[in-house]
Amino acid sequence: MAETRPLAEIGQDILSAARNELYMHLPYLDAALCALGFRAGDGVTVSLATDGEVLYYNGAYLADRFLRARTLVNRAYMHVVLHCMLRHLAKKQGRDARMWDLACDAAVESILDGLHVPCLEGANSPKRRKFYGECLREMRVLTAEGIYRHLLRQRLTEFELAQLEIAFFVDDHGLWAPAERESREQNERQDQRWQSLAEKAQTGMETVLAGQAAGGEAVLEQLRVAAREGVDYRAFLRRFAAPREVMAVDGDAFDYGFYAYGLQIYGNMPLVEPPETKEDRRIEDFVVAVDTSMSTSGELVRQFLACTYAVLRSTETFARRVHIRIMQCDDHLRSDTVIHDNDDLREYMERFTLAGGSATDFRPVFDRVRELQAMGELAKLRGLVYFTDGMGIYPEKRPPYETAFVLLEEPPLSVRVPPWAVRLVLGEDGLGQDVRKGEENNR
């Protein structure tokens, strides 16, 4: 009687076979498909799991899926690899874990359902198709970030949320938790590794394998969005600074050759004294408006204000005496706070509370600014930055100053920011990085 092989060995053979079959159909993902090592068990009791370095598996689970249909194993393997390529693991920190897990699963499964490859065929259930349709009415590409924001807006019941989780469940995300991983440096190195692998796959699809990557359009779209460079909000905010003369040595306008020559000839008498002033760009009059409607998260507003605060209080940007108004508005102006110096700004951030919670109307803020200018205030106003989700009533006429609407994600397709305004789309991750950079620079 033949000996029964251990399920761990069987599971490894099944994964190797799946990887080889996927490579034959999706050669542009060759490096990514081979980037994970295989290891049985390690707490995986239900399905598959990864920490970005190793693919942990349950042998019994793989054997069962393989017997049911070989394509189920292929889809599960590809599901995990796509999570890594789209860097879902690194982006989980700071988000609602349950919502983020569901959003990532839905985004990855939408790719697999759109890949017309024989080895990945699977049942695209009516529940999935209905959910994809709802999301596509708000976004062009079904990214995890976009789906996550969609889920937060839906305010689903526990039953509805559980139904979606069942519809998209494939792997265990328990090893994604940042607290269970060794260090920030290791996490960053791993994230950069997968970013590099994703860029190689994207390059291969766009060049060498152009026209041959059948069914890969869904993968390419997601990779392009994931690889899109983040916006430096700190650099963007500095565009509203006005040129002015400040007390400082202007090294660019000073010739050290003549200075040293005078010291050499006359001892302690330089021929040229260094200029005591220079022209710099500083923020003086400025308006920061915050959308406090029900669709805007209070935590995201705090992050935005923290980033704005970090930039404004930097010595290179913040004038000694300023006139900054921070306004909160939903369908009415809820608060209008005046900031004159660093102490005012710090006190406002320490005591910040969100006021509002109704629908969104941007016009009250612009009406208030017009009133202030008529009273002789904000005479040197160069710009207004409005943090919002983009959904609301916009002014019809262009104001006499530059206006930027800062969005945390691509707004629904029905949203049209006025052509006279700057539309800046930030990512939650990029905003968090800008906050950390600002804090480091101000230490």
Residues 154 and 138 in one domain: yes
- Summarize the confidence of residues 286-290 as an average pLDDT: 89
Amino acid at 350: E
Lowest mean pLDDT among 39-53, 120-134, 154-168, 200-214: 200-214
Has residue 330 been placed in a domain? Answer: yes
- Judge whether 230 and 219 are in contact, CB under 8 Å: no
Q: Which CATH number does the domain housing residue 287 bear? A: 3.40.50.410
Check residue 75 and report its DSSP letter.
H
- Summarize the confidence of residues 22-32 as an average pLDDT: 86
Is it the case that residue 13 has pLDDT exceeding 70?
A: yes
Has residue 383 been placed in a domain? Answer: yes
User: How many Å apart are CA 399 and CA 390, to the nearest integer?
Assistant: 18
Phi, psi of 80 (to 5 degrees): -65, -45
Residues 207 and 135 in one domain: yes
Has residue 262 been placed in a domain? Answer: no
Please report how many Cα atoms fall inside a 13 Å half-sphere around the Cα of residue 147, on the Cβ side. 25
Bridging pattern class, strands 242-247 and 277-291: antiparallel
Is it the case that residue 283 has pLDDT exceeding 80?
A: no
Last residue of a domain, one of 193, 227, 261: 227
- Judge whether 329 and 361 are in contact, CB under 8 Å: yes
Is it the case that residue 364 has pLDDT exceeding 80?
A: yes
**pLDDT (tens digit per residue) in 232-255:** 677 777 777 665 555 555 555 556
Q: How confident is the model at residue 1 (pLDDT cuts 50, 70, 90)?
A: very low
Residues 218 and 316 in one domain: no
- Summarize the confidence of residues 376-401 as an average pLDDT: 87
Residues 333 and 386 in one domain: yes
Give how many domains the chain has, as a whole number: 2
Has residue 253 been placed in a domain? Answer: no
Site of tokens 């990855």: 108
Is it the case that residue 363 has pLDDT exceeding 90?
A: yes
User: How many Å apart are CA 225 and CA 412, to the nearest integer?
Assistant: 16
Higher pLDDT, 204 or 414: 204
Residues 103 and 219 in one domain: yes
User: How many Å apart are CA 59 and CA 368, to the nearest integer?
Assistant: 65
Token output for 377 = 């205030």
Q: Which domain holds residue 193?
A: 7-227
Has residue 267 been placed in a domain? Answer: no
Residues 73 and 90 in one domain: yes
Residues 6+ apart with CB under 8 A from 330: 291, 292, 293, 294, 356, 357, 358, 359, 360, 361
Q: What is the average pLDDT value for the chain, to the nearest integer?
A: 78
Is it the case that residue 258 has pLDDT exceeding 80?
A: no
**Rg of the chain's alpha carbons, rounded to an integer?**
27
Question: Which candidate, 139, 151, 86, 150, places its Cα nearest to that of 112?
Answer: 86
User: How many Å apart are CA 405 and CA 419, to the nearest integer?
Assistant: 11
pLDDT of res. 196: 86
Q: How confident is the model at residue 299 (pLDDT cuts 50, 70, 90)?
A: low
- Summarize the confidence of residues 280-301 as an average pLDDT: 72
Token output for 203 = 């390059």
pLDDT of res. 106: 93
User: How many Å apart are CA 333 and CA 368, to the nearest integer?
Assistant: 8
pLDDT of res. 93: 77
Has residue 2 been placed in a domain? Answer: no
Residues 378 and 419 in one domain: yes
Residues 22 and 113 in one domain: yes
Higher pLDDT, 175 or 188: 175
Has residue 257 been placed in a domain? Answer: no
Residues 191 and 243 in one domain: no
Q: How confident is the model at residue 91 (pLDDT cuts 50, 70, 90)?
A: confident
Residues 6+ apart with CB under 8 A from 57: 11, 12, 15, 38, 39, 40, 44, 47, 48, 49
Residues 6+ apart with CB under 8 A from 237: 283, 308, 311, 312, 317, 385
Is it the case that residue 43 has pLDDT exceeding 90?
A: no
Last residue of a domain, one of 227, 257, 288: 227
- Summarize the confidence of residues 343-355 as an average pLDDT: 80
Residues 6+ apart with CB under 8 A from 107: 86, 88, 142, 143, 144, 147, 222
- Summarize the confidence of residues 57-82 as an average pLDDT: 90
Is it the case that residue 7 has pLDDT exceeding 90?
A: no
Residues 320 and 403 in one domain: yes
pLDDT of res. 114: 82
Has residue 133 been placed in a domain? Answer: yes
- Judge whether 214 and 107 are in contact, CB under 8 Å: no
pLDDT of res. 317: 55
Residues 299 and 214 in one domain: no
Higher pLDDT, 95 or 366: 366
Site of tokens 């002014």: 395
Residues 132 and 212 in one domain: yes
